[in-house]
Homo-oligomer: A and B are copies of this chain.
Amino acid sequence: MNAAKPPGGLVWFDEPPPPPATEQLSRERVVAAAVALADESPSGEITMRAIANRLGTRSPMALYRYVGSKDGLTDLMVDEVYGEITVPPPGDWRTCLREMGLSAWAAVRRHPWFARLAFSRPPLGPNALRLYDSALAAVDELGLPAATRVGFVNTVLGQVFGSGLALLEELAMRNRTGLASDAALAEAVQPYLERIAAGGEYPHYIRWLNEPNPMAEVVTFEQQLEWQLDGLQRLAEAR
């Protein structure tokens, strides 16, 4: 053991060697720790070192035996969340896709970082495949060509991931600037906007800011999802 010797210090001076590696590592434990860590961080950013730390392991290198690389770990995390998305058994296709969308939306609310990663990794893990398989089963009754079937599914998932990403980035931005509440945020931007207003440009923008509740969320995710389903339905009927 050639650990860096504290210059002129005896072993006794160090604090005793941290939580003694509670348990065997495993791919599952690594992924679970990564997911938990990402859930806690507002931005969803994680670090191999942080994961190692959480597992009581001193070195990030220990993880590489189980996940290959950070990208590999990312894929595993993504598939983990795909596993939380459910599709009802085949029946009315529109109901199925709606339920899938809502279920995916719930998963994204639990794990906002998922929206970002889902965009950047191909859905090829077992849970992703299972999800796509169920969803394709649900639209089977329409008798559409292959590309159209998967287009239907992707439209719904795209809506979820897009809205999720907007959600994530707003969370991250609020946290980065330390402005958690609507009020604090409004106050911080105040001086800047007043300078803008003084310039007399952007009259409609200024008028919006001065009306009550300008930030209320009025076009909800559920609403937009329904609109997309309307569109898909019209597409299916016009076939």
Contact = CB atoms under 8 A, between A and B. Distances in A.
A147 B216 contact: yes
A119 B137 CA distance: 33
Contact of A218 (B121, B151, B218, B223): B151
A140 interface: yes
Secondary structure call for the A interface = helix
Given A132-B205, A205-B129, A151 B224 contact: no
B149 A119 contact: no
A147 B215 contact: yes
A212 interface: yes
Given A226-B231, A231-B224, A218 B166 contact: no
Contacts of A196: 129
Given A169-B119, A173-B120, A227-B228, A213 B132 contact: no
Nearest to A220: B151
A97 interface: no
Interface string A176-214: 000000000000010010001000011111011001111
